[in-house]
Amino acid sequence: MSNNKPLIVLANSGLIDPNSLEQAIGVGAYSAMAKIVEEAIAPSDVIGIVKASGLRGRGGAGFPTGLKWSFTAKDEQVYIICNADEGEPGTFKDRLILEGDPHRLIEGMMIAGYAVNATKGYVYVRGEYTLSIERMQTAINAAREVGLLGENIFESDFSFDIEIKKGAGAYVCGEETSLIESIEGKRGYPRLKPPYPGAVGLWSKPTVVNNVETLANVPPIIVNGPEWFRSYGTEKCPGTKVFTILGHVEKPGLVEAEMGTSLQTIIDVHGGGVKDGKAFKGALVGGSAGAFVCPDCLDKPMDFDGLQELSAVLGSGAVLVFNEDASIVEMLDGILAFFKHESCGQCAPCRGGTQALKTIMERIRDGHGVAGDLDKMVEVATSMQATSLCPLGQSVILPITSALQHFRPEFEALIS
Ligand SMILES: Cc1cc2nc3c(=O)[nH]c(=O)nc-3n(C[C@H](O)[C@H](O)[C@H](O)COP(=O)(O)O)c2cc1C
């Protein structure tokens, strides 16, 4: 962290042997759950602590975590799902947590389970993450062996266990309802919402779906309290964010920085500056469904609200940096190819819209664009936003409109 505050989410990653339960316990693993049991903190009070911390989901949308838990319907069977699908291009932050500190994630899921009365959790991990799956399974086995997972945890009435489910590589399966369909053994098609998973989720039971990074924040919040968590970040977005810094920077990689850190600090301090001393042209923030930003945005805070003011999104926290030589036309073409490939095909607006957008974009890219093409792209993406069944089709508009807002002349130069 640039101001030398201790890290939260990545505090132990790289410092402990992820295959050692002893080392994890040595740095505080399971002390949050122990505290809950010893101090007899009621499930509703756990939700109250998480609400008071202001923790917001790190899977993209920034929905308040405590609120999500409080909305979860009461039932004798409730499920927790940890979303570790991480299909967003240029994002590998969850992987570092899974591979570097798996017991933190187990404990985060366990506390979420205690809060909403769930006894079973699933970790849905993308199949390509073989090392993540291996380390999570080793950690689950070790926790089970000593009774940290299973019946009557810390001799309480609370029982909880975790199973790993592997994804098969579809981007849409990161969307919570497609993910649920996939765990149920069906084709990973999104469901219409409402009902939301908190009411009707896995096997039609109330289900909490949270991102890996979200759950990794929970144990330290319980141990240190909501005020401590609020001492990081901004008032509306407390805590930290794990950013993936990619593209034309000297030091690509991952960094945990406070919410609200400026884009300039992310690039210059954490990313080592634009590569080879070239000028900064712009960045794609938030992954493929994110927004292009330009040099005017460098001083803006990187958090859910700060980026919303720029009509951008924080998304997964991926920051893809472009130097002066980069082609935004090529970039947008790549993004639209991705969406065309990943559209699940269930609903017509997304299936046909992603095809149409790619066709127009390719024409422009190859220098054969015709008058009206740019407006046509916005028109197609706008109707996709209004009529697609899930946020995949609804979100294609953002990279298109932001690219045109900041870099329109580059596209116009290719249109006769
Ligand atoms: C196309 C698509 C892909 C998504 N991929 C992921 C993903 O890989 N990981 C994730 O946590 N959330 C992903 N989401 C968001 C999830 O639907 C859901 O909002 C999130 O897991 C909730 O967790 P949170 O409240 O902790 O952020 C995706 C959403 C969409 C529309």
Ligand 1 within 6 A of 241 CB? no
**Is 208:197 a contact under the CB 8 Å cutoff?**
yes
Tens digits of per-residue pLDDT, 246-269? 999 999 999 999 999 999 999 999
Mean pLDDT by 10 residues, the chain (416 residues): 88 97 98 98 98 97 97 93 95 97 98 98 97 98 98 97 96 97 97 97 98 98 98 97 97 96 96 96 94 93 87 91 97 98 97 98 96 97 97 96 96 94
Listed in sequence order, the residues at least 6 apart from 188 whose beta carbon sits closer than 8 Å to its beta carbon are 168, 170, 172, 173, 178, 179, 181, 182, 344
Ligand 1 within 6 A of 83 CB? yes
Burial pattern 361-391, b for ≥16 Cβ within 10 A else e, equals beebbeeebeeebbeebeebbeebbeebbbb
Distance CA 179, CA 195 (A): 15
If one counts every other C-beta atom within 10 angstroms of the C-beta of residue 122, the result is 22
Ranges of each domain in the chain: 21-230, 240-323, 328-412
Q: What pLDDT sits at residue 2?
A: 66
- Which is it for the CA torsion 9, 174, 337, 377, positive or negative? negative
Amino acid in position 31: S
Using DSSP's 3-state secondary structure scheme, residue 89 falls into: coil
pTM of the model: 0.97
Q: Which residue's alpha carbon is at the smallest distance from atom 8 of ligand 1?
A: 86
| Secondary structure percentages of the chain, helix, strand, coil, to 5 | 45, 15, 35
Provide CATH code, domain 240-323.
3.10.20.600
Ligand 1 within 6 A of 209 CB? yes
Distance CA 139, CA 136 (A): 5
Ligand 1 within 6 A of 176 CB? yes
- In sequence order, the β-bridge partners of residue 356 are none
CATH architecture for the domain at 328-412 = Up-down Bundle (1.20)
Q: What pLDDT sits at residue 368?
A: 94
Biggest CA pair distance of the chain: 74
CA of 87 to the centre of ligand 1 (A): 9
- Superfamily per CATH, domain 21-230: NADH-ubiquinone oxidoreductase 51kDa subunit (3.40.50.11540)
CA of 281 to the centre of ligand 1 (A): 29
CA-based nearest residue to 115, from 203, 50, 194, 31: 50
Tens digits of per-residue pLDDT, 199-213? 999 999 999 999 999
Q: Which atom of ligand 1 is nearest to the CA of 84?
A: 9
Distance CA 328, CA 403 (A): 7
Q: What pLDDT sits at residue 416?
A: 85
